[in-house]
């Protein structure tokens, strides 16, 4: 069945954690890893991807760590997914039709592409702030 990657899960938890701490509070990977219960090494990799995509900012120095680059209301789950995973796809043919030996005869391509579009739209419509509101309920 469909399953998000561990790296995406780590990244989503990390930005959610940063959002709960406020836009100005610098948080270390060590603190996040201990609080969330994730591997510090693996979380560091997710944070680097988020940094490259300008979702978080890295603060250097003794009191360094990460902060959100923008308010939680301006960051979507789709952006986080793109930063961590790249362009999403459910099936091989969604990326490269030449990778599918039954592409021309496939009866499910329309349904699967529609499902992928619905997932992408849901992720794009979900801001980090709205995610936090859902968690708080």
List the domains of the chain with CATH numbers. Answer: 6-136 (1.10.10.10)
pLDDT in tens, 23-82: 789 999 999 999 999 999 989 999 999 999 999 999 998 888 999 999 999 999 999 999
pLDDT computed for residue 48 by the predictor: 95
Percentage of the chain modeled with pLDDT above 90: 58
For the cut 80, the answer to whether the pLDDT of residue 17 exceeds it is: yes
pLDDT computed for residue 101 by the predictor: 81
Identify which has the larger pLDDT, 5 or 53: 53
Confidence label for 1 from pLDDT (cuts 50, 70 and 90):
low
What value does the mean pLDDT take over residues 108-129?
89
For the cut 80, the answer to whether the pLDDT of residue 111 exceeds it is: yes
Q: Please give the Cα distance from 86 to 95 (Å, whole number).
A: 12
Average pLDDT, the chain: 89
Identify which has the larger pLDDT, 88 or 65: 65
pLDDT computed for residue 91 by the predictor: 73
DSSP-derived secondary structure for the chain: -----HHHHHHHHHHHHHHHH-TT--B-HHHHHHHHT--HHHHHHHHHHHHHTTSEEEE-STT-EEEESS-GGG-BHHHHHHHHHSS--SSHHHH-GGG-TTGGG-SSHHHHHHHHHHHHHHHHH-BHHHHHHHHH-
For the cut 80, the answer to whether the pLDDT of residue 109 exceeds it is: no
């Amino acid at each position: 069945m469909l399953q998000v990657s561990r790296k995406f899960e780590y990244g989503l938890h990390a930005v959610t954690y940063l959002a709960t701490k406020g836009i100005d509070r610098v948080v270390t990977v060590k603190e996040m890893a201990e609080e969330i219960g994730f591997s510090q090494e693996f979380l560091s990799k997710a944070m680097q991807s988020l940094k490259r995509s300008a979702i978080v900012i890295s603060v250097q120095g003794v009191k360094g760590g990460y902060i959100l680059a923008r308010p939680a209301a301006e960051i979507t789950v789709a952006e986080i997914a793109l930063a961590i995973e790249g362009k999403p796809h459910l099936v091989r043919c969604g990326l490269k039709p030449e990778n599918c030996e039954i592409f021309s005869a496939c009866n499910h391509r329309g349904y699967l592409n529609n499902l992928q579009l619905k997932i992408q739209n849901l992720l794009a419509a979900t801001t980090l702030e709205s995610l936090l509101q859902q968690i708080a309920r």
